[in-house]
Amino acid sequence: MTRLSLRRRPRRNRKSAAIRDACRETTVGPANFVYPLFVHERDDDIPIGSMPGCMRFGRRGLLAEIERARAVGIRMFAIFPALTDELKDPRGSKSFDPAGLVPRTLSEIKSRWSDTVLVTDVALDPYSSDGHDGIVGPDGRILNDETVEVLCKQALCQARAGADVVAPSDMMDGRVGAIRDALDADGFAEVSILAYTAKYASGFYGPFREALDSAPRHGDKKTYQMDPANVREAELEVELDEAEGADMLMVKPAGAYLDVIARVRAATALPVAAYQVSGEYAMLKAASERGWLDERRVVMESLVAIRRAGADVILTYYARQVGEWLAEV
């Protein structure tokens, strides 16, 4: 058998676990995660059928889950409220109620763990009787500027309660600049804005809408969320959100939009976040429960891919579970 004479043999850098670890280009760990959690007004924890392992938490359950996650290095949490229908109205008025579910939750978490970074959703869909991210006009259109006024009130309410990062997910034009001005004018210049810069009108959000009962009562979200066919438009949104004062930029969903993450990464010096959304989580869980996939292996591969594409931060429902896996190593 003839021996090949090759000066370059890439396999030399794969020959042992130690060398592979030393040469690894992309890493992922708890410091990269934001852990999304659902909270409701009830005392008990309610499993979410389409998201195995996820709950609508009551107060005690939420605090216990945060404590478990902190034990494996998770320090950033995104809080999403599930409200009953009687608390919803067409203008999402409960979104800026200082005695509301989110402000109370933020205050209690901060009183226990002051070093925890709390990220809050700025959008009206959990509070709206119409289920839209903005105020619906008489003709069915989503009213951009009227919605932005309410979003500013919501962001201020959250900042006063202890939010470290407000994350407008509504995709209204101009809301980042308006929120930045409102925060600065009220003495919250240190509160960060994580802009949902490229949030697509995706079919992967279904389980999340079940978790919050926030699906639109009529129509869809295509007039404000982005067309999944577009990528240049994401670069325009990057330019606008940067100019308006965003501190971090988000791409949502993540797995089917790795090319968008890469384009956004190339277009900005700001930190880039990506959201591994409920539908991505549900697919991985369902296939793994059926024995079709090795859950640990494919979850880690999916998260490495998101990081490799350019995301600095990943919002993932797997945050605590991955933290536990990594702690075993």
* pLDDT in the model for residue 1: 65
Question: How far is the C-alpha of 266 from the C-alpha of 153, rounded, in Å?
Answer: 33
Residue 50, in any domain of the structure: yes
Residue 285, in any domain of the structure: yes
Burial 69-89 (b: 16+ CB within 10 A, else e): bbebbbbbbbbbbbbeeebbe
Residue 169, in any domain of the structure: yes
Among residues 88, 94, 199, 221, the one annotated as catalytic is 199
Kindly state the tokens that stand for 217. Answer: 């009562």
Q: Of 19-23, 185-189, 252-256, give the lowest mean pLDDT range.
A: 19-23
Among candidates 197, 128, 116, which has minimal Cα distance to 163?
A: 116
Band of pLDDT at residue 218, cut at 50, 70 and 90: confident
Question: How far is the C-alpha of 197 from the C-alpha of 248, rounded, in Å?
Answer: 9
Angle between helices 295-309 and 319-328 (to 10 degrees): 110
Question: How far is the C-alpha of 292 from the C-alpha of 189, rounded, in Å?
Answer: 49
Mean pLDDT for the chain? 95
Query: What average pLDDT does the segment 248-262 reach?
Result: 98
Query: Counting beta carbons within 10 angstroms of the beta carbon of residue 54, is it exposed (0 to 12), middle (13 to 18) or buried (19 or more)?
Result: buried
Contact 60, 109 (CB under 8 A): no
Interval 28-74: pLDDT, tens: 999 999 999 999 999 999 999 999 999 999 999 999 999 999 999 99
* pLDDT in the model for residue 3: 78
What percent of the chain shows pLDDT beyond 70? 98
Range of the domain at 314: 27-328
Band of pLDDT at residue 329, cut at 50, 70 and 90: low
Is the model more confident about 101 or about 6?
Answer: 101
Interval 78-97: pLDDT, tens: 999 999 989 999 999 999 99
> What is the CA 212 to chain-centroid distance, rounded?
14
Band of pLDDT at residue 213, cut at 50, 70 and 90: confident
Residue 10, in any domain of the structure: no
* pLDDT in the model for residue 209: 76
Is the model more confident about 159 or about 3?
Answer: 159
Instruction: Write the CA distances from 40 to 60, 63, 210, 216, 259, integer angstroms.
Output: 11, 13, 13, 19, 35
Band of pLDDT at residue 286, cut at 50, 70 and 90: very high
Among residues 88, 94, 221, 252, the one annotated as catalytic is 252
Among candidates 310, 315, 302, which has minimal Cα distance to 261?
A: 310
> What is the CA 196 to chain-centroid distance, rounded?
9
Tracing tokens 């389409």 back to the chain, one arrives at 50
Query: What average pLDDT does the segment 191-205 reach?
Result: 96
Residue 19, in any domain of the structure: no
Band of pLDDT at residue 131, cut at 50, 70 and 90: confident
Q: Is 110 in the active site? A: no
Residue 214, in any domain of the structure: yes
Q: Of 117-121, 210-214, 309-313, 324-328, give the lowest mean pLDDT range.
A: 210-214
Query: What average pLDDT does the segment 237-266 reach?
Result: 98
Residue 22, in any domain of the structure: no
Q: In the chain, how many domains are there?
A: 1
Residue 246, in any domain of the structure: yes
Q: Is 252 in the active site? A: yes
What type of residue is 271? P
Q: Does the model's pTM come out above 0.85?
A: yes
What percent of the chain shows pLDDT beyond 90? 90
For the chain, counts of helices (H) and of strands (E): 11, 12
Kindly state the tokens that stand for 287. Answer: 């296939």
Tell me, what CATH number does 259's domain have?
3.20.20.70
Q: Is the dihedral of CA 213, 195, 157, 315 positive or negative?
A: positive
